[in-house]
Structure 1
Amino acid sequence: MSFKQWGIGFLCGSTLLLTACRVVDLDENGQPIIPADPNAKASFANQTPAQIAQQTWNTKVLTPAQSHALDSSTLKTRAGSAKNESVFVKVQGNIDRVSLDNERERTVTINVNGQPLQVQVGPMIRGNAIRDATGYKFEDFTNQVQFAQLSKAYNREAAKHLPKVDDSWQQQPVTVLMAVTMRNGALSDAAAISLEREQP
């Protein structure tokens, strides 16, 4: 009986003499299955934006947001700089207004550094704030369509984790973890990642 019939094979390295051998599994065609290099850079080439968003939600969005979100005072300092960027922010305060005019695009307005900020709470969220706050760059993706569509995928993923907001949230104390884009000192495209109602 051959080793191929057993579904195993030998990979051997040699110069003039045999120096090393190790047993590897064979695929259905009898070819050796080479384990993936653990140090290789992650590739998104064959993944849909939805798959990327689902698989990286905790590692690229939720955990960094929980660990490194700016508070309102740090946000004020950063927003005063000339740099345009998207960041994670954590804010506590009362909801001044709940907007339910558009059933698909609900928002809550919360005071941030003395200014009202509309925060998108789904089910539809627009903008690139979440994707850009992760630190992903255009060049990280060989398929550039993925990068363009990843914003929508992350926005949809965020909406899955948010509570349904209604009029009962009006004037209620909340903690909101969000991504927000800063342009020339102004805040825009704020998108909630988590929204929790606190005890009054």
Structure 2
Amino acid sequence: MSEMPGQATNRAPHRRLQVNPETLRFVPAEKRDFWEKLAEDVEINIASQFGKRWTMLATLRVILASPDETYEEVARVLNRSPGAVRYRRQAMIHLLRDEHSAVDRVEAYRSDPKAFHKYSDYAQVAEALEQLGYFDMPVREQFALAVPLGQPSRSWRGDGSSAALAQRKNTYSSLKEEVRRLLDEARNFGST
């Protein structure tokens, strides 16, 4: 496994599986129907460019956005999620301020794009900043440009669309796995 230069290798301890000792209770079908229909009615509005490759033009739009614009406004123009725009803008800020190992990420990606593919966003933002001449500016001017866009609150980190999509995708497969496990457990119950 390749690691980024300067990245900590300490991993969080594994959490133990908690077993519920209570017996399983079956829920009548008429009560289950309500919850199943409720899950089908949920609609997630996803930007048309969600998950698509970023163009250099779109990256430049994020970099050149005025600090009085909001992430939602820029996202609407680009057909992207506000969280995706925020990620690009934060990459720009980290590169201009030389913080959070941003420059190391770009160098790692450029040295081995396959091993460090997750840093391709930072590499594209760095390329745009180089083309604009931002790295040639005095540090004072770089810091003046490294400003986040308007956001609903200080703790806002995006609209959660990627998390919602990932959960929707994983829910079906995890339910299938759980049913298989329960069937196997029921089959093996009498043989032990």
Whether TM-score is above 0.5 comes out as no
Structure with higher strand content: 1
- Give the TM-score taking structure 1 as reference length: 0.23
Structure with higher helix content: 2
- Give the TM-score taking structure 2 as reference length: 0.24
